[in-house]
């Protein structure tokens, strides 16, 4: 019996629950071309207003996962678990660049499929594109080879993996339905399930720089992802982490890669960035049964980092995916440098009381480090470094950051935006880096 897409839309519009067979038929119709983009838009709007039960979310996630290739790592005979993490996005969030190599050094295998920048948030692929020669879109054969041999490969979504999600997301982006928690959940998890994972850790951001600005909304999204993933057969833990200020002291592309290399080698490690990175790594080791508890996992993670083992995995991944063989040792030689570097001072001296983190991200976008249109080219050299933190005293010799720009004009514009993003006043206590832990039911 044929299930008409308009009847599925009508049913959801009227607030009824959809059966798994109806959801599967709708997604299959989208891939086959019998469901139009207009119908997808109507479906997305119906879901936005009416929501979906956990059972419906699981069914949608599974259907979108099965819309393309689902990777199977068993044929490679990997001696460790296949695990990954996903973040809802942030400013100065280069965690993936360190996390994948750290977990690989601890015996895990990390096939990380990442995205590009979205809105005010930076994208892992845009950062990796700052490394000359690094192939962010390799074929699946090379992807599998690098994961097997180096333990980690960070790449972009291929056309084979969850193609239904690509179409649905593009339509959501232009129909004001991006914020639907049900659709966000299915979008994230369909790609992760298609990657053939055995365990997943989610980093759900909350605060002024997050898409979910309130703790309540972040908690709802984290619970949805953890519950739906576990229900779809992917054990998942979600950490809610603070995004009331940039996570790293650098925001941009090349500047965040430089920050990541300094983190791995021990030259410089931002405290909040370290707290979040190591917490996520430890959860991945426990879920992957590489450690019996968080304490043991944390000790393994710190050894992998401090011994240089994680740095070696990062270096080998970069080389295996086309980057320079001596990138870690000579990253300054390879990363682009902006011609204009200017310190930015606050409107008055004092303690930083609050930061509009979204505005900091938008300053990077305005410099050319992000996109205002999908077809925009990224300027990898630009960004902001040495960002001050909440509670820190600025003024005198201490600016709130340094703008790296292509021109004096863009530097001045970014400086104005950055200065306005920082509120000076009585000292405020920043949110803890990790706020809550949510386990899939």
CA distance 422 to 70: 45
The DSSP string of 131-159 is STT--SS--HHHHHHHHHHHSEEEEEPPT
Question: Which of these, 174, 188, 173, 177, lies nearest to 221 by C-alpha position?
Answer: 188
Is residue 172 part of the annotated active site? The answer reads: yes
Spacing of C-alpha 425 from chain mean position: 32
Annotation says 85 is catalytic: yes
In DSSP terms, 439 is beta-bridged to 237
Given 65, 114, 136, 187, the catalytic residue: 187
**Cα–chain center distance at 212:** 14
Residue 83 DSSP SS3: strand
Catalytic residue among 192, 258, 313, 380: 192
Could you say which of 124, 158, 249, 277 is catalytic? 124
- Looking at residue 327, the DSSP 8-state letter turns out to be T
CA dihedral 344, 349, 355, 359 (to 10 degrees): -30
Q: How many residues does the chain have?
A: 441
DSSP 237: E
Q: Which of 202, 199, 242, 197 is nearest to 221 (CA)?
A: 202
Note whether 352 and 423 are within 8 A (CB).
Answer: yes
Alpha helices by DSSP H, 232-330: 254-265, 271-287, 294-306, 309-320
Catalytic pick from 84, 203, 244, 356? Answer: 84
Cα–Cα dist 121/358, whole Å = 8
Active site residue 84: yes
172, 258, 300, 404: the catalytic one is 172
Q: Which of 57, 116, 120, 191 is catalytic?
A: 191
DSSP letters along 365-424, please? Answer: IIIIIS-SSTTPPP-TT-EEES---TT-EEBTTB-SEEEEESSHHHHHHHHHHHHHHEEE
243 catalytic per annotation: no
- Which residue has tokens 């895990």? 108
Catalytic residue among 12, 62, 85, 219: 85
- 187 catalytically annotated: yes
Distance CA 342, CA 332 (A): 19
In the numeric block, which tokens belong to residue 134? 């690094």
Q: Which of 12, 57, 86, 127 is catalytic?
A: 86
Kindly name the residue from 61, 65, 67, 87 that is annotated as catalytic.
87
Q: Which of 245, 282, 239 has its CA nearest to residue 431?
A: 245
Where in the sequence numbering do the catalytic residues fall? 84-87, 124, 172, 187, 191-192
């Amino acid at each position: 019996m044929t299930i008409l897409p308009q009847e599925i839309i009508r049913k959801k519009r009227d607030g009824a629950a959809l059966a798994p067979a109806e959801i599967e038929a709708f997604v299959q119709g989208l891939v086959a071309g019998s469901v139009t983009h207009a119908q997808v838009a109507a479906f997305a709007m119906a879901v936005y207003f009416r929501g979906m039960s956990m059972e419906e979310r699981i069914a949608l996630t599974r259907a979108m996962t099965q819309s393309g290739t689902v990777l199977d790592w068993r044929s490679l005979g990997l001696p460790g678990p296949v695990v990954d993490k996903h973040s809802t996005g942030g400013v100065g969030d280069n965690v993936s660049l360190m996390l994948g190599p750290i977990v690989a050094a601890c015996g895990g295998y990390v096939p990380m499929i990442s995205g590009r920048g979205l809105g005010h948030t930076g994208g892992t692929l845009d950062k990796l594109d700052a490394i000359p020669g690094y192939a962010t879109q390799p074929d699946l054969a090379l992807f599998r080879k690098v994961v097997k041999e180096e333990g980690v490969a960070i790449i972009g979504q291929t056309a084979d993996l969850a193609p239904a999600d690509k179409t649905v997301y593009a339509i959501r982006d232009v129909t004001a339905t991006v914020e639907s928690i049900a659709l966000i959940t299915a979008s994230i998890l369909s790609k992760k399930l298609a990657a053939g994972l055995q365990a997943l850790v989610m980093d759900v951001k909350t605060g002024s720089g997050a898409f979910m600005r309130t703790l309540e909304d972040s908690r709802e999204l984290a619970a949805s992802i953890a519950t739906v993933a576990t229900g779809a057969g992917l054990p998942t833990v979600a950490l809610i982490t603070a995004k009331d200020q940039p996570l790293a002291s650098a925001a941009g592309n090349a500047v965040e890669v430089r920050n990541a290399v300094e983190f791995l080698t021990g030259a410089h490690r931002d405290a909040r960035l370290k707290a979040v990175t190591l917490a996520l790594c430890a959860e991945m080791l426990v879920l992957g049964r590489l450690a019996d508890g968080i304490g043991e996992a944390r000790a393994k993670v710190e050894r992998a980092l401090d011994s240089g083992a994680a740095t070696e995995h990062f270096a080998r991944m970069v080389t295996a995916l086309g980057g320079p063989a001596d990138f870690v040792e000579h990253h300054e030689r390879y990363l682009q440098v902006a011609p204009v570097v200017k310190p930015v001072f606050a409107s008055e001296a004092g303690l930083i009381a609050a930061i509009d983190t979204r505005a900091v991200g938008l300053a990077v976008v305005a410099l050319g480090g992000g996109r205002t249109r999908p077809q925009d080219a990224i300027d990898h050299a630009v960004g902001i470094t040495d960002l001050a933190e909440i509670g820190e005293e600025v003024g005198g010799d201490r600016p709130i950051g340094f703008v790296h720009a292509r021109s004096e004009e863009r530097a001045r514009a970014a400086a104005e935006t950055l200065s306005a993003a920082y509120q000076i006043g009585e000292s405020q206590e920043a949110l803890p880096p990790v706020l809550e832990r949510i386990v899939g039911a």
